[in-house]
Amino acid sequence: MFPQHVIARKRDGQVLSRDEIAAFVRGATDGSWADYQLSALLMAIYLRGLSPEETAHYTDAMMRSGVVADLASVPGIKVDKHSTGGVGDKVSIPLAPIVVACGVPVPMISGRGLGHSGGTLDKLESIPGFRTDLSLDAYRAQVAKVGCALIGQTRDLAPADKKLYALRDVTATVECIPLICGSILSKKLAEGIDALVLDVKFGRGAFMKTKADARQLAAALVAVGRAGGKQVRALLTAMHEPLGRTVGNALEVTESIACLRGEGPADLWQVTQALGAQMLMLGGVAANVTEAEEKLQAAVASGRATAKFREIIIAQGGDGRVVDEPSRLPQARLQVPLTAAVDGYVSDVDAMGVALAALRLGAGRARAEDNVDPAVGVSGLVKMGERVSAGSPLCVIHANDPTALAEARAMLAKAIVVGNEPGVPPGLVDELIG
């Protein structure tokens, strides 16, 4: 099955067979296809698309390019959550322990941040000692014992995705829904889960800028996931302003701990609860949204969710004391407020502008090889619609470099707008797909 023949068929708009797609993915895994051949087929797919059946075959081949974890010995319906990424999106950190405290196992394999979007692994690794590089055996054992493991992708899981994603990144083929489906779902289905809840974001700070594009992606992800034999649902959520009031790794962990105690920002809890309710229903411990929300709230109010997070941290080598003493997390040397120049209302908080300011401080990485400073970022962010007075803080900038602080300050001053009329953000949790 020569690469050039497969490339030509897709170039001409033909439907590829399961075997042809498998040959492509195998070529990415074992190196039998050259990078220029892989890139040529990626571009042909970007231009010609894949049918639902082709996308399902592609996802299955990607999943089977490595090891598929077997969690059959772990009791219960295993449910994970995946977000398409945003600004201040720390939902996975409080969500996992709350759902586990309600009786649903959560095997969660997450990624690192790149560009403006933060990564769950970077946030978790701001906890002193916390290890996300567990082996698959350790991952399986921890899910069985604790009910949850929060780790990164191992070399054994969907290795074809790492190669093909790198090529997509440099060949302008990232924005292709079938390829996105294969990338996301191959890793998630290889985890050994039974069900998946997706948080598909739309807006200025999201990968998908419009609700229509997010809906199209969500529908494709649900269809392909179900074709793979899993129960899948997707929520569309808005990402116009940052989620919560912090952006930055240790700062977001602190806010996540507050959420676990029932003291976090209302918007963070709204998204966490909406996703958690779907996870509890898929996990078979709640019959409807009302019952699920009551269970989630009880897990928080009783302290069981906080205790479960502490248990997860300790199991993965971290300092469990941070749950009660968040000040043990890394602290930036410089903490400077950005204040309002006039009285008025917060008319806008541009999620992308805030994200780029945090990136300049060192909270994220512009390139995969960049280092991340866990202590820096932004806290105390105002929300759209709030009233402010001249001299009152719009946020606090956490920095370790004076030059980066000055540049981020200027960026934030443009991103946060105070005017005569309060800004009205769109509805946060928008639509359920599937």
Cα–Cα distances in Å, from 53 out to 18, 331, 398? 9, 50, 48
Mean pLDDT by 10 residues, the chain (434 residues): 95 97 97 97 97 95 93 95 93 98 95 73 96 92 96 87 88 90 91 95 92 95 92 97 97 98 97 98 98 98 98 98 97 98 97 95 79 95 97 98 98 97 91 94
Residue of 157, 160, 152, 171 lying closest to 43 (CA atoms):
171
pTM of the full structure: 0.93
Among this protein's residues, is 168 annotated catalytic? yes
Go through the domains of the chain in sequence order and give each one's CATH number: 3-49 (1.20.970.10), 79-323 (3.40.1030.10), 331-419 (3.90.1170.30)
Catalytic residue among 92, 110, 183, 379: 183
Residue of 194, 106, 178, 103 lying closest to 142 (CA atoms):
106
Q: Give 389: exposed, middle or buried? Use CB within 10 Å, 0-12, 13-18, 19+.
A: exposed
Among this protein's residues, is 30 annotated catalytic? no
Catalytic residue among 10, 140, 187, 308: 187
Among this protein's residues, is 82 annotated catalytic? yes
Residue 413 host element (H or E)? helix 402-415
Looking at the DSSP bridge assignments, the partners of residue 377 are 398
Among this protein's residues, is 187 annotated catalytic? yes
Catalytic residue among 80, 89, 122, 161: 161
Among this protein's residues, is 161 annotated catalytic? yes
Residue of 275, 333, 340 lying closest to 83 (CA atoms):
275
Output the pLDDT for position 368. 64
Output the pLDDT for position 365. 76
Residue 146 host element (H or E)? helix 136-146
Q: Is the dihedral of CA 217, 222, 174, 252 positive or negative?
A: positive
Output the pLDDT for position 398. 98
